[in-house]
């Protein structure tokens, strides 16, 4: 009971982690993205499984930390301060737990604060608002007068209707604004408490404690602590408005809620710069605490070292959402990307997503899910899940072409770009698929680092000058390794047998495969095709018509 009363009066209550949709979490990034260009787009966000990954990171985190984590994944580079915090929190879990206690009130926030602070300017206060304080007293005066002069009851009725109309018009917007104000007051409360905790460290005996406060970014919370507390008090609702029953009279008769609505909006407008700075400090700290908790539960991780554009080295990398996947190692120099082949179901797509996510976390947070990681600071764009769109009148191949054009437009710009592509151009026939894929991939390699997987093995020799051929293959019962070269033994036809398609289908498929393999799987010298040289002579046309082969 006392906790609930304290919550009403001072904004403290038990932890209640309100649910937020992705649109709310992304608001801070959307409203501030002009300051820093995005390092990945929406399609890459989905294909790298970042919605599910973000949810895992943000477990037990307020909307402030969620919004900052989202923005970092989208566009930011890990700062030295954040890296130092994560290392200190890992080495001193007690410090992390104390700061988590200070930040716990943030989880009570039920409205996202980004729009109020970073969105369009709030509308100006109407001129008639200045008379709101007079209206309740005029109404009460008319009531008193009506007992002595009958016609005054007309003024009483008119005043009552006006008070009701003001409440009806403002009810929804006042309720929504109060939720936003509550989030802002929690933010200022945490700002003040962290500042007080940092101040206790700073003046203590010797420079070590001051360096502790400054080294993990707490010193920035100390200046203006009194101003933060005063601002929080000014944004608080009047005490009468917070008490049951009394609030009804305060609002309907005295217009307490409407007057506070306009007064607090004016305060937020005047103090927007201070509130924005407080948001960044508090959200950064909450995000770093979430990352520290995540790393404490993730023993397999490493700190990232920066590489030259185009070069990368990942040893025993894995995807944190796919714990059952076997770790793999990948190393590329600055000259070539990678063409990855492998049997069906061996884990090529998982490998691509693991590479992509590690590139993102290495850039955004400074750590990777690997034994060692040397990665470039690069934007990442992918094409892994092309689909047709009945509503948009777009076939699978048209969707793949549209995405290829987007990738071409995104490449060749600063910062450097990495493209991750899985099974390019599946939506057209085999010959045209290979032809279009070879041409587009050749151009993409001139605009960024390309890591592509495909079952069209002929792309390997066609693009070997630009892409290092690598093959994912099984090693032992559960192990995998990435070796140089192309896939030697496919398993597409073997899966027909494993799925019991029948001997007739399996035999016919084998005959067609033998017929095609002579001139499709062994293209010979094709080094000059994409370079503009003369095309190599094609294999002679088969003398046996396709139809009889199937009989």
Q: What is the DSSP string of 378-412?
A: -EEEEE-----BTTTTB-HHHHHHHHHHHHHHHTT
Q: Name 281's Cβ contacts closer than 8 Å, sequence gap at least 6.
A: 191, 217, 220, 221
Domain-embedded: residue 399: yes
Task: Look up the CATH number of the domain holding residue 325.
Answer: 3.40.50.300
Q: Which of 490, 512, 542 is the last residue of a domain?
A: 490
Pull the structure tokens for residue 428: 């057209």
Domain-embedded: residue 323: yes
Is the domain of 480 the same as that of 498?
no
Domain-embedded: residue 260: yes
Query: Total structural domains in the chain?
Result: 3
Is the domain of 125 the same as that of 204?
yes
Is the domain of 347 the same as that of 397?
yes
Residues of the domain holding 546: 491-551
Neighbours of 470 (CB within 10 A): 26
d(CA 360, CA 50): 10
Neighbours of 156 (CB within 10 A): 17
Domain-embedded: residue 126: yes
Q: Which of 462, 490, 518 is the last residue of a domain?
A: 490
Is the domain of 329 the same as that of 342?
yes
Is the domain of 85 the same as that of 30?
yes
Is the domain of 467 the same as that of 384?
yes
Is the domain of 72 the same as that of 207?
yes
**Whether the predicted pLDDT of 551 surpasses 50:** no
Domain-embedded: residue 400: yes
Rounded-to-10 torsion of CA 44, 46, 49, 50: 80
pTM over 0.95: no
The 10s digit of each residue's pLDDT in 450-467 is 999 998 988 999 999 999
Is the separation of the CB atoms in 187 and 104 below 8 Å? no
The 10s digit of each residue's pLDDT in 8-36 is 444 445 566 778 999 999 999 999 988 77
Domain-embedded: residue 3: no
Give 105 or 542, the one with higher predicted confidence: 105
pLDDT confidence tier of residue 358, bands split at 50, 70 and 90: very high
Is the domain of 120 the same as that of 233?
yes
Q: Which of 442, 463, 490 is the last residue of a domain?
A: 490
Domain-embedded: residue 6: no
pLDDT at 242: 61
């Amino acid at each position: 009971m006392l906790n609930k009363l304290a919550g009403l009066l001072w904004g403290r209550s038990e932890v209640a982690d309100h649910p937020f949709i992705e649109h709310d979490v992304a608001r801070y990034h959307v409203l501030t993205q002009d300051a820093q260009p995005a390092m990945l787009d929406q399609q890459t966000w989905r294909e790298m499984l970042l919605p599910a990954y973000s949810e895992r990171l943000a477990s037990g985190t307020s909307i402030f930390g969620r919004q900052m984590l989202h923005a970092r994944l989208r566009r930011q580079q890990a700062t030295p301060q954040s890296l130092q915090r994560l290392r200190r929190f890992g080495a001193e879990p007690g410090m992390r737990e104390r700061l988590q206690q200070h930040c716990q009130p943030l989880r009570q926030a039920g409205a996202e604060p980004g729009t109020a602070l970073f969105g369009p300017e709030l509308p100006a206060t109407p001129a008639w608002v200045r008379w709101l304080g007079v209206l309740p007293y005029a109404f009460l005066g008319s009531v008193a007068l009506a007992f002595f002069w009958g016609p005054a009851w007309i003024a009483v009725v008119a005043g009552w209707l006006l008070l009701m109309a003001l409440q009806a018009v403002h009810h929804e917007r006042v309720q929504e604004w109060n939720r936003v104000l509550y989030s802002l007051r929690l933010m200022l409360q945490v700002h003040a408490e962290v500042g007080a905790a940092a101040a206790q460290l700073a003046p203590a005996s010797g420079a070590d404690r001051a360096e502790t406060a400054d080294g993990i970014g707490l010193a920035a919370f100390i200046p203006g602590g009194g101003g933060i507390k005063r601002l929080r008090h000014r944004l608080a609702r009047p005490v009468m408005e917070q008490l049951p029953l009394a609030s009804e009279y305060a609002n309907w008769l005295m217009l307490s809620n409407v007057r506070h609505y306009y007064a607090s909006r004016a305060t937020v407008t005047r103090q927007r710069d201070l509130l924005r700075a407080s948001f960044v400090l508090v959200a950064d700290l909450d995000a770093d605490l979430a990352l520290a908790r995540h790393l404490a539960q993730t023993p397999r991780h490493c700190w990232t070292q920066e590489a030259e554009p185009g070069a990368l080295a990942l040893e025993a990398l894995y995807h944190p959402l796919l714990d059952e996947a076997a770790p793999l190692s990948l190393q590329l120099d600055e000259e070539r990307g990678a063409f990855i082949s492998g049997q069906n179901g061996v884990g090529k797509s998982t490998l691509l997503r693991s590479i992509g996510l590690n590139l993102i976390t290495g850039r955004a947070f400074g750590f990777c899910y690997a034994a060692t990681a040397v990665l470039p600071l690069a934007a990442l764009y992918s094409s892994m899940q092309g689909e047709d769109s009945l509503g948009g009148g777009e076939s699978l191949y048209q969707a793949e072409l549209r995405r290829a054009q987007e990738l071409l437009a995104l490449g060749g710009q600063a910062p450097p770009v990495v493209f991750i592509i899985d099974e390019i151009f599946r939506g057209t026939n085999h010959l045209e698929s290979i032809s279009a894929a070879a041409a587009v991939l050749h151009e993409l390699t001139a605009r960024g680092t390309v890591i592509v997987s495909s079952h069209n093995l002929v792309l390997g020799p066609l693009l070997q000058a630009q892409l290092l051929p690598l093959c994912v293959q099984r090693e032992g019962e559960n192990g995998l390794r990435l070796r140089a070269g192309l896939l030697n033994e496919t398993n597409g036809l073997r899966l027909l047998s494993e799925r019991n398609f029948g001997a007739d289908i399996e035999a016919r498929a084998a005959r067609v495969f033998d017929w095609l393999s002579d001139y499709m799987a062994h293209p010979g010298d094709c080094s000059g095709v994409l370079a503009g040289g003369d095309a190599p002579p094609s294999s002679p046309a088969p003398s046996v018509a396709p139809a009889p082969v199937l009989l």
